[in-house]
Amino acid sequence: MNEKFVESAHTPPHLFRPNSIYIITAAIYAKLRLINTDAKKRVLVDILFRQSARLSWELEARSILPNNYHFIARAPENSPSLSTLIQAIHSISAKYLNRADNMPGRRVWYNYWDTCITKESSYLARLHYVHVNPSKHGYVDRPEDYEFSSYSWFLNTARVVFREKVFAQPIRSNTRRRSGMSSSGVRNLSTAQASTCAMPKQSFGTP
């Protein structure tokens, strides 16, 4: 396993494990609802898809809400660190949102959390959580009615046995403890926190 610490002049080292599965949660600064229109949400989805594909991260679940987002993705074998992906998403989306609102220079993103998923039960529970997150927070009555999550895609493409296995799990969020992040979207992660990512991806029977 070619794990490595990625360092820069402005952030502590971050442990990146290739072929691992991560859940990422990011929050808008001050919990403001800046992603407050369908058009903005569509742009955020597009940015997530484009940047993930550019850096060879495989998206498995997503949910874009007015003041935060969640996604689950598989890390590639050889790629820049996770922080590179998040920095790209946050930099591009912040510029777009500030242009849309005529608010140049406004701070958009506050923080992000990542968890390297190491157990099948955790993987299934977090898939469930991300897919149904909009209905859990009351944005829609039925998760399939929310355009900006992966629920409908999962419902239509996952194998029945796997789908039932996911929805049988208790809903589990991204509970990794908070760490600091600059306004540009670069996460400040300590070596001790980074080492909690425990193992590469498993064969969990994804759709």
Q: What pLDDT score does 3 carry?
A: 52
Q: For the chain, which domains are there?
A: 4-118+176-194 (3.30.70.1290)
Average pLDDT over residues 168-174: 78
User: 71: which residues sit within 8 A by CB, 6+ positions away?
Assistant: 23, 24, 48, 59, 61, 62, 63, 130
124 CB-contact burial (10 Å; exposed 0-12 / middle 13-18 / buried 19+): buried
Average pLDDT taken over every residue of the chain: 81
Q: What pLDDT score does 18 carry?
A: 74
Which has the higher per-residue pLDDT, 33 or 18? Answer: 33
Residue 151 has pLDDT above 70, yes or no: yes
Residue 143: closest CA among 156, 132, 154, 158: 132
Residue 150 has pLDDT above 80, yes or no: yes
- C-alpha distances in Å from residue 80, one per residue of 76, 77, 126, 191: 9, 10, 24, 17
Global confidence as pTM = 0.79
Please report which confidence band the pLDDT of residue 19 belongs to, taking 50, 70 and 90 as the band edges: confident
Q: How many residues would you count in the chain?
A: 207
Phi, psi of 202 (to 5 degrees): -110, 170
